[in-house]
Amino acid sequence: MHKMWGDRYNQFAHLRNMYTFMMTHPGKKILFMGSEWGQFLEWRYNEGLEWVDLEDEMNHKMQHFTAVLNNLYEKEASLWELEDTSETIELIDADNTEESVLTFMRRSKNTQDFLIIALNLVPVERKNFAIGVPFPGSYKEVLNTEKIEFGGTWTKDNLVCQSVSQPFKGFDQQIQTILPALGALIIKPEKIQTD
């Protein structure tokens, strides 16, 4: 943590973003030796963990975030079921350099079971942020890295998003949401029309 840019709030926001990207990107995952709570100093083979860090509210909330993210990974088949195939991931917008936002989709064997991941890599909140979706219907937020319980500032989730029939980045439908500054959202279809 001590090598990251910004104050402690920004450091932990970046860390939550990085862990969200890691857990939602295909491939095996590993966190160890205090990285799950944001240990301030890097791991050293000749010293123990800095358990005292867990007395700090930000580290404690980071540990809680990591546990919630791990539970989401275990629960959502789209994050692991097809991880060794190219069908598991679909980029929605990988070229948004102007806003520094990356959006992509993770899929499972069931075409109606997928997650949309939006990563905002700068400290600017994005209101009415458009995301292309494959089916008309409603979509709900299942994880917001900027929730207060994780060390962020948001006290409630975004409202359920209803798609609109407006093409966006190769998709016939789009949703609009508020993307938190230095935050990530994981969005799941709630009720969609696939036919």
* Predicted TM-score (pTM) of this structure: 0.92
Q: To which CATH superfamily is domain 85-192 assigned?
A: Golgi alpha-mannosidase II (2.60.40.1180)
Instruction: Tell me how far CA of residue 68 lies from CA of 36, 51, 144, 150, in angstroms.
Output: 11, 20, 11, 9
pLDDT in tens, 111-163: 899 999 999 999 999 999 999 999 999 999 999 999 999 999 998 888 899 99
Closest CA to 164 of 155, 182, 177: 177
SS3 call for 180: coil
Q: Domain spans of the chain?
A: 8-77, 85-192
Query: For 28-42, 149-163, 173-187, which range has the lowest pLDDT when averaged over its residues?
Result: 28-42
Q: Is the pLDDT of residue 47 over 80?
A: no
The amino acid occupying position 83 is E
- 37-55: b (≥16 Cβ within 10 Å) or e: bbbbeeeeeeeeebeebee
Closest CA to 62 of 145, 163, 167: 145
User: Which pLDDT value is given to residue 1?
Assistant: 65
User: Which pLDDT value is given to residue 73?
Assistant: 97
pLDDT in tens, 57-89: 888 899 999 999 999 999 999 999 998 899 999
- Interatomic CA distance for residues 181 and 122, integer angstroms: 6
Cα angle vertex 165, ends 163, 170, to 5°?
95
Question: Which residue reads 């990285």 in tokens?
Answer: 35
